[in-house]
Amino acid sequence: MPAIACRRLACALLLALPLLAVAADETGKVVSLRGGALERQAGAAWEALAEGQAVQMGERLRTGAGAVAVLEYPGVGRFVMGPASEIEMGRNPRDFDTAMNRGALWMQAQPAAGGRAAISTPIAVAGVRGTAFSMVFGEGEQAVCACTCEGQVEVRGVDGSLLSVPRGQYVAVDAGKAVPAATTPSAPLLAQTGGVFEFCHTCHEVSAEPRLKPDWR
């Protein structure tokens, strides 16, 4: 079942995040890195990145098994890569479609007026306009979750099925299946631990009313 798949990988909501103020620029940077390595593909090899280094649109990036990396692209938004993640950043700042092959990726998006941002996976695509959300692959990459933090996220399955996911809700999509007809509240998942969800705990206090830590940035 989709809800069970999502609990197993502990997909979590990141609540009430303020949107970034950004300006048009195609070069981003590594804002912070903790717990391991962040690398970018350079031809057939991978090279290590450090805090403060520049990253470009269209680059393929990956994190180590325990690493969490924060990237910021002016004119697009801020990205948090969870452990053991691999992504290819978007190439067009007005239609910023980032491909996620594995792992967990959270985006705090503020595209330019009329712009769009999305995270694409082989299972589903989540598109946003001025909002924040996270997506997390399931075990064996057989499920993906889309969790809305602010605004509204439109999730599209490979079969064309659509679902709008409002703030405070999530949806789990199984590989090869249509997007479910309804969403599920996300806050209860914050009480769970294990797997990629651990990187959310660096930002959240787990309580009856989940909230961001004062120093979450």
CB 74 within 8 A of CB 51: no
Residue 122: CB atoms within 10 Å: 14
Pairing assessment for the beta strands 95-102 and 116-120 based on DSSP bridges: parallel
In this predicted model, what pLDDT tens digit does every residue of 194-210 receive, in sequence order?
554 555 555 656 555 55
Is residue 217 in some structural domain? Answer: no
What predicted TM-score, i.e. pTM, was given to this entire model? 0.80
The reported pLDDT for the residue numbered 199 is: 55
Q: What is the mean pLDDT of residues 137-166?
A: 85
Is residue 25 in some structural domain? Answer: yes
Q: What is the mean pLDDT of residues 115-130?
A: 88
Q: How far apart are CA 10 and CA 23, in angstroms?
A: 34
CATH number of the CATH domain containing 77: 2.60.120.1440
Q: How many domains does the chain have?
A: 1
The reported pLDDT for the residue numbered 167 is: 80
Identity of residue 54:
A
Going by C-alpha positions, the residue among 18, 12, 97 that lies closest to residue 57 is 97
In this predicted model, what pLDDT tens digit does every residue of 26-67 receive, in sequence order?
789 999 999 999 999 999 999 999 999 999 999 999 999 989
